[in-house]
Structure 1
Amino acid sequence: MVRISSAPAALALGVGFGISAVLGIGFLTATRVEKRRQQLLTSGAAQAKAEHIAFLARLDHEMKNPLTAIRAALAAHGIEGSPHLQVADTQATRLGSLVGDLRKLSDLQSRPLESEPVDLGQTVGDAVQAVQTYLDQLGSKRHFAVHFPTVPWRIPPVLGDADLLYLAVFNLLANAAKFTNDGDSVEVRAGEAEGWVWLEVADTGVGIPDADLPQVWDELARAANARGIAGSGLGLPLVKVVAERHGGRVALRSREGEGTAVRIDLPACRPALVRPTSG
């Protein structure tokens, strides 16, 4: 059994330190990332990207040590029987996950890409199955519908890193599941046009307020109506990084209270086929 100190002063000091430190780190993280992003908007694109990658890596390093110390202190003190320390432990775990996501985002912007033909239909199928399995474990359900045209020809593959493209698709589906309710619908559709393959994930979820739409691709940005839903605000930025590293682009449409559709456009592996017409 974990022993908990009964000294009121020591407990109060531990609770105050744990909660204040965790909340303070969370506030500073969001503030510093946004401040740095605004500063880099005035720099050249290439320099800004390199500096931002370095900043994320440095932030990961600076956050890791104090978080490790806080979690070690909480573990040594023991959190059983103390709701305040349990809150601090939960928030420390959440911030640890946030730091991990920031590290992942930094790595995605600089890691070498594999290059092979990727079947997006297979990628979507694998990601849908993974999200459905997760929802089943939670006892929740969404109605997934996937439409990839097969006539007059199939969607061509895209050239890229299969693991990163899966990560992007999985994030889109997980986001759609997160911001919808039990029994809601999620549609995945695809097509090709003028050498591009496009993939769109649409849902019947809470949607995004108009005022928040300009910030949806910003790191740590969260819509006003999503504050009560767990998340880091890094899912869509991650999708954007993956798409752009493959020479692609992203777009989003949303109506609050109706749903959201997120689209990725990627260069096709081969030119679109053209059926000969009879004279």
Structure 2
Amino acid sequence: MNNLGNQMTGNINRRDLLRVTGGTAIGLTLPGSVFGARQDVEFSGAESRLIELSGIENSYGPSPAAKKAIIDASSNANRYTYAAQLKLVEKIARKEGVSSDHIVLGSGSSEVLLSAGLACCQNDKDTVAADLGYGMVPGYAGRVGGDIHWVPLDNEMRHDLNNMADHVNSNTGMVYICNPNNPTGTLVNGDRLRDFCRSMPKGVVVVVDEAYLEFTDNFDEQTMLDMVKLGHNVIVTRTFSKIHGLAGVRLGYA
């Protein structure tokens, strides 16, 4: 869910931008090093005793209804899914209470996060992100944009919003916040994060990665969806990989 307005740098339409830079277009324009950040590790020994935690996957897996839907859809695997994608966009839009043109699908939320980084940090724009945090998104943005300003977490291992705001300047294109944070699991208070989003200057986009927010007890109070609806420069990303146990399906949205 995104609302970049006309304040984004460059001459690219806000909602077409993520679509244009998504999927194949990204693969054709970026060097291989951009996609080489994560590598598989081979283990030796008794693999049956290994517990895989690195992907933060949902060990319970998808629901029976989701499994049935996947099986039912498999008979059409030889067909393109454009119509089904449009229906999914419409359903997500109704769920979130926004118009369909606010929704962009991706191969997991990783793709829409990558697209957001490319869009916001073109023309050598800088990124502000937390250290310790999910480094893939600012890492991608840094490869195609300007500098990455890593801001240490506070004493409670949360995003230090005041310090992050101090690192925002005239060359900042994106502030990336994963809430709850990966890997610390800490949550930034929703009201404080809203104040932070409101304080950002024009041209700075706050990308809020809500991959794990559905595991919290007060989701409605913590999500930044309302900031999108109010027209602030905020992008909210979600994924079906975590709470829905569908990491292998590769489906996310902004």
Q: Same fold (TM over 0.5)?
A: no
Normalised by the length of structure 1, the TM-score is 0.25
Kindly name which structure, 1 or 2, has the bigger radius of gyration based on alpha carbons. 1
Normalised by the length of structure 2, the TM-score is 0.27
Higher relative contact order (CA 8 A, sep 6+): 2
Q: Report the structure, 1 or 2, having the larger helix content.
A: 1
